[in-house]
Amino acid sequence: MAERPLVIAASPSAISRVLSGASHSVAHLDPGLRRALATRVAGVAPARSLGFIRLDGYVITKVLNGSALRTDGPFHWTPRATRRIIGGPAAQLVLSGVSPEPLSAVRGEISRLLNQAESRQELRSGSLARWLYEAPESLRVAVTAEALTYASEVIASVDLGLLDGTIDPSVNDPQWAVPGAPWISLRGRRDLDVVSALVPGQRSILALRTGTLGLWAARDLGIVALSAALCRPDQPLPARIVGLWGASGRALVLPVTPAIIKQAAREVLSCVEALNHRISRAEAA
C-alpha cells in the first residue's frame, strides 16, 4: 500500500525516524515528463528580454492563487541573504562530525570566504566573498549571527542518535534551468538531504519553513520533489519530503510518487502560463 501524506509532531526524534525510514518502493523520473515539461514551458515562456524568472514553491503558489508578486529590484547582499549560504555548510559540518559546534563552523565558513577574496581567488563584482571582504566588522558580526541562527535551527531539527543514514554533503538547492528557455529556472528550497542506510540510493529531504502549515504546504513540498528529480534524472526519486513548520510545532511528510511529480509539473506549467498572461495584459494596458 502506498504511503499517504501525514502530519506529525515537529520533534527531532519524529523527524529523524521519518527521514531514515525505508520506502515501500523506489521510483524514477519519467524521461518523457522531463522532455515534455521543458518543451511546453519553453512554448509559453515570457520573452527573454523581460529578464530571469525564478520559480519556487512560494512564487508558484502566489501566482496560481492570483496574488501579486513582490518586486524587490536589483539584488543586494544583506546579512539575512547570507544565512543559508553560510549557515547551511556550517550545519553540515556539525551534523557530519567535522566541526564540534555551530559557531566555530560558521566562523570557519566566513574565514574561508575571506581567504578566497584575500588570495584573489574570488573577487568577482557582486560575489559574497568580495562583499564580505569589503564589509565592516559590524556587518560581519550580523552575518555571523544570521548564519548561526540558521545552522542551529537545522541542527536542532534532527536527532543524530536516531538518524539512520548519512547527511548528503551537497548544500545547494536543486535548480533546473528550462532547456529551450534557460532564463526560467525552478528551485526547490530544501535544507537537509539524508541518504538512507537501509535502502541503497534512497534519500529523503528536509525542508524548513516559516509560519504555519497551511493549505498549500503539499504543493510547496511537491515542487521541492520535482526540482530534485529534474536536477538528478538518473537517480531515484526522493522517497519523501518532510516539511517542518517549527513555529507551529507540526511537520508534513509527503511521500514522493510519480503522481506527485506529475502534479507538480502541471503546476509549474500553469504558473508560467499565468505569468505570461499577466505580462501580456500589462503590456496591452
Question: Do 104 and 168 fall into the same domain?
Answer: no
Residue ranges of the chain with pLDDT lower than 50? 1
Name the domain count of the chain: 2
Which of 95, 125, 157 terminates a domain? The answer is 157
Question: Do 64 and 168 fall into the same domain?
Answer: yes
pLDDT (tens digit, 9 = 90+) per residue, 21-57? Answer: 887 778 899 999 999 999 999 999 988 877 889 999 9
Which of 234, 230, 241 is CA-nearest to residue 265? 230
Question: Do 151 and 172 fall into the same domain?
Answer: no
Question: Do 202 and 109 fall into the same domain?
Answer: no
Looking at residue 1, its pLDDT comes to 43
Residues 194, 15 contacting (CB under 8 angstroms): no
Looking at residue 120, its pLDDT comes to 74
**DSSP codes, 174-237:** PEEEETTEEEEEEE---SEEEEESSSTT-EEEEEEE-S---TTHHHHHHHHHHHHHHH-TTSBP
Separation of alpha carbons 120 and 124, rounded Å: 9
- Residue 227 in domain: yes
Looking at residue 139, its pLDDT comes to 96
- The vertex-214 CA angle with 210 and 215, nearest 5°, equals 145
Looking at residue 261, its pLDDT comes to 97
C-alpha cell at 217: 504546504
Question: Do 277 and 180 fall into the same domain?
Answer: yes
One-letter amino acid at 1 equals: M
* Helix, strand, coil in percent for the chain, rounding step 5: 50, 15, 35
Looking at residue 21, its pLDDT comes to 87
